[in-house]
Homo-oligomer: A and B are copies of this chain.
Amino acid sequence: MSRTSRRSVLTFLGILGLCIATTIAQDRAGSTPNKGQPLNTKDISLDQAHAVLAAAVKKAQELKINQDIAVVDAGGNLKAFVRMDNAWLGSIDISIKKAKTARFFDMPTGEIGKLSQPGKPLYQIEVSNGGLISFPGGVPIRGGDDTVIGAIGVSGSTVENDDACAQAGAAAAK
Contacts and interface: CB of A to CB of B under 8 A. Distances in A.
A54 B123 contact: no
A66 to B, nearest CB: 6
Interface in A104-137: 104-106, 113, 116-119, 121-136
A47 B51 contact: no
Nearest to A8: B47
Interface residues of A, number: 101
Contacts of A37: 45, 48, 143-144
Contacts of A6: 61
A149 B38 contact: yes
Given A13-B54, A73-B75, 16 more contacts: A12-B51, A23-B61, A23-B84, A23-B85, A38-B42, A38-B149, A39-B44, A75-B77, A80-B82, A90-B105, A116-B124, A121-B158, A122-B159, A124-B135, A127-B127, A127-B131
